[in-house]
Amino acid sequence: MRIIVANDYEAMSKKAAHIIVSQIVLKPNCVLGLATGSTPIDTYKELINLYKMGVIDFSDVTSFNLDEYFGLPKNNPQSYDYFMKANLFNHINIDDEKINIPNGMTDNVVRECAEYEKKIEAAGGIDLQLLGIGRNGHIGFNEPSDHFEPKTHLVQLDEDTIKANSRFFDSIEDVPTKAISMGIGSIMKAKKILLLASGAEKADAIYDTVKGPITPKVPASILQLHPDVTIIVDKEAASRL
């Protein structure tokens, strides 16, 4: 694991954007795994700036998002589909046909999950997977568990995750209790992984991920076994390392 401690959220976001740009320069038709949540917002802003400056071209890039709430339509402002359009896709030249996000409104969730895995494989696998991390050590929506989930699947969200994510909703009752998420296996198959964390509330999860035992109780701890992981943390998230 390569650990980079950035001064603050802004510095973390700029470093992350430059790694993503390098990936696109190296392989213009690369496959990016993307995340939602607060953490990558300024990374996406920086990518938009660099795109507008003519530094990057997304036209051949394929993307796969990690997860989507189950039961939220795409046009719901809290859906991850909506988030990705508002925070990145609407501002760059990515081809709509090359954007992949699990369909949270599917009437056959087993088939949706299996097809998502097949699509990732058919695209040649993920070259660079961007990750945030939950306070409980989740990546994607792979919550602490007694086993590592291999593939894309339907998840029952943890109480802590529902509480954390309620900040985006009018009330906690509005937060979906389920999501479709890429599995730990799907994430670990990515050729490179870039995990970002900022703020003191992530310090324990980062400590457990980097220094703790590898256990499904801290899903991100499995990243210790991946051959190419970069973790960029700000000083607060790094405070226990």
* Interface residues toward ligand F6R, by CB under 6 A: 35-39, 66-67, 132-134, 138-141
Give me the sheet containing 178-181, strands edge to edge.
67-69, 178-181, 153-156
DSSP letter assigned to residue 77: T
Out of 112, 117, 127, 143, pick the active-site residue: 143
Is there a catalytic annotation at residue 136?
yes
Q: Which of 138, 149, 158, 165 is catalytic?
A: 138
- Could you give the angle at which helices 41-52 and 80-87 cross, rounded to 10 degrees? 40
Report d(CA 23, CA 25) in Å as an integer.
5
Distance in Å, CB of 36 to ligand F6R, minimum? 4
- Taking CB atoms, the residue at the shortest distance from ligand F6R is 132
Can you tell me the distance from the alpha carbon of 224 to that of 135, in angstroms, rounded to the nearest whole number? Answer: 18
When the beta carbons of 55 and 78 are compared against ligand F6R, the nearer one is: 78
CB of 160 to ligand F6R, least distance (A): 10
Considering the complex, state which of residue 138 and residue 189 has its C-beta at the smaller distance from ligand F6R: 138
Measure the CA–CA gap between 188 and 211, rounded to whole angstroms.
18
Catalytic residue (one of 42, 46, 67, 149): 67
Helix (H, G, I), strand (E, B) or coil at 97: helix
Between 32 and 133, whose beta carbon lies closer to ligand F6R? 133
Tell me, yes or no, if 153 is annotated catalytic. Answer: no
Distance in Å, CB of 54 to ligand F6R, minimum: 29
Catalytic, 143? Answer yes
Residue 34: closest CA among 118, 114, 127 = 127
Find the catalytic residue in 65, 100, 136, 165.
136
Minimum distance from residue 96 beta carbon to ligand F6R (Å)? 20
Alpha helices, DSSP H, located in the chain: 9-26, 41-52, 80-87, 109-122, 159-165, 184-188, 203-211
Least distance (Å) between residue 53 CB and ligand F6R? 26
Cβ nearer to ligand F6R, comparing 132 with 183: 132
Q: Between 79 and 106, whose beta carbon lies closer to ligand F6R?
A: 79
Q: How far apart are CA 113 and CA 118, in angstroms?
A: 9
Residue 133 zone, left/alpha/beta (φ > 0; ψ -120 to 50; rest): beta
Catalytic residues: 67, 136, 138, 143
